[in-house]
Structure 1
Amino acid sequence: MESLLGTAVERETALGSEHDAWTLHRVLLADGREVLVKRAARPGLFAAEAAGLRWLADAGPVAPVAPVLDVADDLLVLPWLEPTRPDASLAERFGRELAGTHAAGPGEYGAAWDGLIAGLPLDNTPDPGPWARWYAERRLAPYLRAPGLDGPTIRLVEQVIEDIDALAGPPEPPSRIHGDLWSGNIVWTAERGVMIDPAAHGGHRETDLAMLALFGAPHLGRLLAAYDEAAPLAGGWRDRVPLHQLHPLLVHVALYGESYREAVADAARRALAARS
């Protein structure tokens, strides 16, 4: 690559690949800027990511999200974010800012663009809700075809779908959510935590919090306490964590096969148990 963002490229460092779908590169430009470049293995992979980043940024200055510098069919350019080790105060700030992003509600579930998560399709057809039905139809049912599932696990998820109204908790308006907020999709800089790689859409705010808990996040207890102080959560939200984790675990089965099957079955069992 000779130039980028209208500026000559001084140095490019390959950082590896993700999901065999794109490669990552750290690029130094002649004007001194450093950027992160993602190159796609097939066209069109970055349209949803760029749309989601811009839509999250529309929540206002509080939104902790990386700005899109450029996007094309096979290319996405973001600022280079120098990572650091987060302390509790950074986690608390992120919790408060995430609450602010969620509060900039979109008015309906889904999004105006076709969704992707880790290169897999997401049905973002806009829908007024309620969330329980939308989640069952758009996030759980499509992944029951994943080849890594077996009959007993499919029946457990089908039971969750059947009982979704009783499991979903009190009604809430749609929130502006990241949609794939595991800890690896937060870059902790010296000033704040910054969200990257979203599967953004109008959804349930508990989904982002459950995703943070799925693989662990730094100072998670402090982060959640700060969130709850800024935007109090509905009673019983901790019991609903497995319900919200069910979709990303189904995605992992679709991506990585049967090694995640028992995690899906366990989340479905715990979601069903929380009803009683």
Structure 2
Amino acid sequence: MERLEELLGVPVERVTTLGTGHAWTLSRATLADGREVFVKAADDQAGAFAAEAAGLRWLRQGDDPPVPEVLAADERLLVLPWLPGEPATRAAAERFGRELAALHATGAPSFGAPWQGYIAHLPLDNTPGDRWPRWYAERRIAPFLRSAARHLDAAETRLVERVMDGIEALAGPDEPPARIHGDLWSGNVLWSGGRGWMIDPAAHGGHRETDLAMLALFGAPHLDRILAAYREAGPLADGWRARVALHQLHPLLVHVTLYGSAYRDAAVRAARSALRASG
């Protein structure tokens, strides 16, 4: 990889292709100085790579957060340290819960972010806002309802619209912007060295319950220990469990957009659950 050598200033001895993800190729490279790095490469993902690099650097501004360093990034490559994977343990899960609470507590200037966001290869509108309920409805749910609508019937579309209409009552107590990962499903937590490392962020100033709902969406290992440790470090507002479906609605609409009707029923159930939680 000539470009990789130019970015790092170190010869590359070996590259192992790991597969593909969305629009990019994933590789593990061994450098002449003995380091191993993870490389994400694509021909036309400049915006997505810039957003990911900006998000990782922003998330790393806390006190030793579990976020890998960006070693290099340009319009075609994103390079991170190689983190050898290992099974999640209860102790690592508890540490991750505490570290996630600490990261959230570092806060953000507003909801949103000063860069164009991406989730997978799809653009995210990070235009800043002052209050989370309307920001979430307008910047997260509405755009992906439009893109997912071809897989929903009129009644299902209206169901999601009812969530947006009632968002102020559904969102729970006001909270200040938290510094969140934004796409924290279990596949974006890499267990290595006794920690859970956060990768592939859609980072922004958001609601901390969003990250916790994402961990639950596809079943993070030892989720009960993550949540217990998180709540000890950063207690949650009453009713947070009832709001999980509200926070899962956006990522489920993203999945409908990406993968079609396979996620339609889950998105509709989330909308119904969010509305039931209001009373």
Q: Same fold (TM over 0.5)?
A: yes
Is the contact between residue 206 and residue 237 of structure 1 (CA under 8 Å) also seen in structure 2?
yes
Q: Structure 1 CA distance, aligned partners of 2:268 and 2:189?
A: 27
* Cα separation, 2, equivalents of 1:97 and 1:179: 16
Matched, 1:112 2:127: no
CA contact (8 A) 1:175 1:204 kept: yes
Partner of 2:266: 263
Unaligned runs of 5+ in 2: none
1:151 to 150, 154, 173: 154
Correspondence 1:71 to 2:73: yes
- What amino acid is the match of 1:131? W
Partner secondary structure for residue 151 of structure 2 = coil
The equivalent of 2:243 in structure 1 is 240
Q: Superposition RMSD on alpha carbons, in Å?
A: 0.9
Letter aligned with residue 254 of structure 2? V
Q: Distance in 1 between matches of 2:182 and 2:193?
A: 24
Structure with more helix by fraction = 2
Q: 2:213 aligns with which of 196, 210, 225?
A: 210
Match of 2:224 in 1: 221
Structure 1 residues 194-209: aligned runs within 5 Å: 194-209=197-212
For 2:186 and 2:222, the matched residues in 1 are separated by 11
AA of the residue aligned to 1:83: G
Q: Tell me if the contact between 2:49 and 2:74 (Cα under 8 Å) persists in the aligned partners.
A: yes
Residue of structure 2 in register with 1:15 after alignment: 18
Q: Distance between the aligned counterparts of 1:38 and 1:116, measured in 2? A: 15
* SS at structure 1 position matched to 2:126: coil
C-alpha distance in 2 between matches for 1:73 and 1:100: 32
Alignment of 1:1-276 (within 5 A): 1-2=1-2, 4=5, 5-19=8-22, 21-44=23-46, 45-61=48-64, 63-128=65-130, 130-145=131-146, 146=148, 147-276=150-279
Q: How many residues align structurally? A: 273
Q: Secondary structure at the match of 1:7?
A: coil
On the 8 A contact 1:246/1:267 being kept in 2, the answer is yes
Contact 2:52 2:200 in 1 (8 A): yes
Structure 2 contact 180–203 (Cα < 8 Å) conserved: yes
CA contact (8 A) 2:91 2:194 kept: no
Paired residue type of 2:137: A
CA shift digits 1:220-249 (9 cap, x unpaired) = 001100000000000110000000000000
Could you say what secondary structure the match of 1:234 adopts? Answer: coil
Instruction: Say whether the 8 Å CA contact 2:27–2:38 is kept in structure 1.
Output: yes
Q: CA deviation at 1:74?
A: 0.8
Amino acid at match of 2:125: D
CA contact (8 A) 1:115 1:122 kept: yes
In the TM superposition, residue 114 of structure 1 has moved relative to its aligned partner by 0.2
Shift of 1:126: 1.2
Cα distance per residue 1:10-37 (max 9 Å; x no partner): 1100011111x10100000011000000
TM-score, normalised to structure 2's length?
A: 0.96
Instruction: Give the partner amino acid of 2:42.
Output: A
Gaps of 5+ in 1: none
Distance in 1 (alpha carbons) for counterparts of 2:95 and 2:21: 29
Q: Equivalents in 1 of 2:74, 2:153: separation in Å?
A: 39
Q: What one-letter code is carried by the residue in structure 2 that aligns with 1:171?
A: D
8 Å contact kept, 2:125–2:139: yes
C-alpha separation between the residues in 2 aligned to 1:261 and 1:43?
27
**Residues 87 and 219, structure 1, Cα contact 8 Å, conserved in 2:** yes
